[in-house]
Amino acid sequence: MRAVIQRVSEAKCVVEGDKTGEIANGYVVLLGICAEDTTEDLKWLAQKIVNLRIFNDDAGLMNKSLKDIDGSILLISQFTLFAQTKKGNRPSFITAAKPDIAIPLYERMIVELTELTGKKTQTGIFGADMKIHLINDGPVTITIDTKNRA
Protein backbone atom coordinates (compact mmCIF):
# COMPACT_ATOMS: atom_id res chain seq x y z
CA MET A 1 0.00 0.00 0.00
CA ARG A 2 1.06 3.50 -0.68
CA ALA A 3 -0.28 6.57 1.03
CA VAL A 4 0.23 10.23 0.38
CA ILE A 5 -0.73 12.12 3.52
CA GLN A 6 -1.41 15.83 3.28
CA ARG A 7 -1.87 17.91 6.41
CA VAL A 8 -4.85 20.16 5.73
CA SER A 9 -6.83 22.91 7.41
CA GLU A 10 -9.88 21.87 5.38
CA ALA A 11 -10.78 19.49 2.56
CA LYS A 12 -13.73 18.00 0.74
CA CYS A 13 -14.46 15.51 -2.01
CA VAL A 14 -17.10 16.16 -4.66
CA VAL A 15 -18.47 13.55 -7.08
CA GLU A 16 -20.84 14.70 -9.85
CA GLY A 17 -21.62 17.88 -7.90
CA ASP A 18 -22.37 16.06 -4.62
CA LYS A 19 -20.11 16.36 -1.58
CA THR A 20 -19.15 12.86 -0.39
CA GLY A 21 -16.83 13.82 2.46
CA GLU A 22 -15.57 16.93 4.22
CA ILE A 23 -13.18 17.66 7.08
CA ALA A 24 -11.62 20.57 8.91
CA ASN A 25 -8.13 20.08 10.45
CA GLY A 26 -6.62 16.72 9.67
CA TYR A 27 -5.36 14.64 6.78
CA VAL A 28 -6.28 13.97 3.21
CA VAL A 29 -4.98 10.46 2.67
CA LEU A 30 -4.59 9.29 -0.93
CA LEU A 31 -4.44 5.49 -0.77
CA GLY A 32 -3.06 3.20 -3.45
CA ILE A 33 -3.48 -0.57 -3.16
CA CYS A 34 -1.51 -3.20 -5.04
CA ALA A 35 -2.40 -6.86 -5.58
CA GLU A 36 0.13 -8.10 -2.99
CA ASP A 37 -1.24 -5.97 -0.13
CA THR A 38 -2.55 -7.71 2.96
CA THR A 39 -4.54 -6.86 6.08
CA GLU A 40 -1.18 -6.78 7.88
CA ASP A 41 -0.08 -3.95 5.55
CA LEU A 42 -3.39 -2.22 6.16
CA LYS A 43 -3.18 -2.39 9.95
CA TRP A 44 0.45 -1.21 9.98
CA LEU A 45 -0.34 1.72 7.68
CA ALA A 46 -3.46 2.75 9.61
CA GLN A 47 -1.46 2.86 12.86
CA LYS A 48 1.28 4.85 11.15
CA ILE A 49 -1.20 7.38 9.73
CA VAL A 50 -3.02 7.98 13.00
CA ASN A 51 0.15 8.22 15.12
CA LEU A 52 2.28 10.24 12.68
CA ARG A 53 3.40 13.40 14.50
CA ILE A 54 3.23 16.17 11.90
CA PHE A 55 1.09 18.79 13.64
CA ASN A 56 2.75 21.70 15.41
CA ASP A 57 3.02 21.90 19.17
CA ASP A 58 3.13 25.18 21.11
CA ALA A 59 6.81 25.60 20.21
CA GLY A 60 6.05 25.27 16.49
CA LEU A 61 7.64 21.82 16.22
CA MET A 62 5.92 18.95 14.41
CA ASN A 63 5.29 16.96 17.55
CA LYS A 64 1.54 16.26 17.66
CA SER A 65 -0.44 13.44 16.07
CA LEU A 66 -3.88 13.45 14.50
CA LYS A 67 -5.28 12.12 17.76
CA ASP A 68 -3.57 14.89 19.76
CA ILE A 69 -5.35 17.60 17.77
CA ASP A 70 -8.66 15.68 17.45
CA GLY A 71 -8.23 15.80 13.68
CA SER A 72 -10.18 14.05 10.94
CA ILE A 73 -9.35 12.01 7.84
CA LEU A 74 -10.61 12.28 4.27
CA LEU A 75 -9.60 8.98 2.64
CA ILE A 76 -9.44 8.86 -1.16
CA SER A 77 -8.70 5.74 -3.22
CA GLN A 78 -6.04 6.46 -5.81
CA PHE A 79 -4.73 3.63 -7.97
CA THR A 80 -2.47 6.07 -9.84
CA LEU A 81 -0.05 5.96 -6.90
CA PHE A 82 1.15 2.72 -8.51
CA ALA A 83 1.89 4.31 -11.87
CA GLN A 84 4.94 2.88 -13.63
CA THR A 85 6.67 5.47 -15.79
CA LYS A 86 9.95 3.84 -16.84
CA LYS A 87 8.92 3.15 -20.43
CA GLY A 88 7.40 5.75 -22.71
CA ASN A 89 5.22 8.63 -21.65
CA ARG A 90 1.96 6.83 -20.90
CA PRO A 91 1.94 5.44 -17.35
CA SER A 92 1.14 1.79 -16.73
CA PHE A 93 -1.01 0.81 -13.76
CA ILE A 94 -0.50 -2.94 -14.02
CA THR A 95 0.67 -3.30 -10.40
CA ALA A 96 -2.38 -1.53 -8.96
CA ALA A 97 -4.88 -3.95 -7.45
CA LYS A 98 -8.02 -4.75 -9.41
CA PRO A 99 -11.32 -3.73 -7.76
CA ASP A 100 -12.05 -7.23 -6.42
CA ILE A 101 -8.93 -6.94 -4.25
CA ALA A 102 -8.78 -3.18 -3.74
CA ILE A 103 -12.37 -2.46 -2.70
CA PRO A 104 -12.43 -4.80 0.34
CA LEU A 105 -9.07 -3.46 1.52
CA TYR A 106 -10.17 0.15 1.00
CA GLU A 107 -13.40 -0.50 2.92
CA ARG A 108 -11.43 -2.20 5.71
CA MET A 109 -9.10 0.83 5.88
CA ILE A 110 -12.14 3.07 6.41
CA VAL A 111 -13.20 0.89 9.36
CA GLU A 112 -9.68 0.69 10.77
CA LEU A 113 -9.10 4.46 10.66
CA THR A 114 -12.53 5.13 12.16
CA GLU A 115 -11.79 2.74 15.04
CA LEU A 116 -8.34 4.21 15.67
CA THR A 117 -9.47 7.84 15.62
CA GLY A 118 -12.90 7.42 17.18
CA LYS A 119 -14.25 9.59 14.36
CA LYS A 120 -16.05 8.66 11.16
CA THR A 121 -13.53 8.57 8.32
CA GLN A 122 -14.75 10.75 5.47
CA THR A 123 -14.35 9.34 1.97
CA GLY A 124 -14.71 9.74 -1.72
CA ILE A 125 -16.31 7.04 -3.88
CA PHE A 126 -14.08 4.20 -5.01
CA GLY A 127 -13.46 4.37 -8.76
CA ALA A 128 -15.41 7.60 -9.28
CA ASP A 129 -14.18 10.76 -10.98
CA MET A 130 -13.56 12.77 -7.81
CA LYS A 131 -12.76 16.44 -7.33
CA ILE A 132 -10.68 16.99 -4.20
CA HIS A 133 -10.62 20.49 -2.75
CA LEU A 134 -8.09 21.11 -0.01
CA ILE A 135 -5.98 23.66 1.73
CA ASN A 136 -2.62 22.02 2.40
CA ASP A 137 -1.39 23.31 5.76
CA GLY A 138 2.34 24.02 5.71
CA PRO A 139 2.47 22.57 3.12
CA VAL A 140 3.14 19.21 4.73
CA THR A 141 2.98 16.11 2.54
CA ILE A 142 4.31 12.70 3.62
CA THR A 143 4.49 9.51 1.56
CA ILE A 144 4.47 6.03 3.09
CA ASP A 145 4.89 2.69 1.32
CA THR A 146 4.22 -0.46 3.34
CA LYS A 147 6.82 -2.32 1.28
CA ASN A 148 9.53 0.03 2.67
CA ARG A 149 9.04 -0.67 6.38
CA ALA A 150 12.44 -2.21 7.10
Count of residues in the chain: 150
Q: What angle do CA 26, 31, 130 make, to 5 degrees?
A: 80
Q: What angle do CA 54, 21, 126 make, to 5 degrees?
A: 100
Q: Exactly one of 38, 39, 80, 143 is catalytic; which is it? A: 80
Annotated active-site residue 80? The verdict is: yes
Is cis: bond before 99, omega within 30 of 0? no
Active site residues: 80
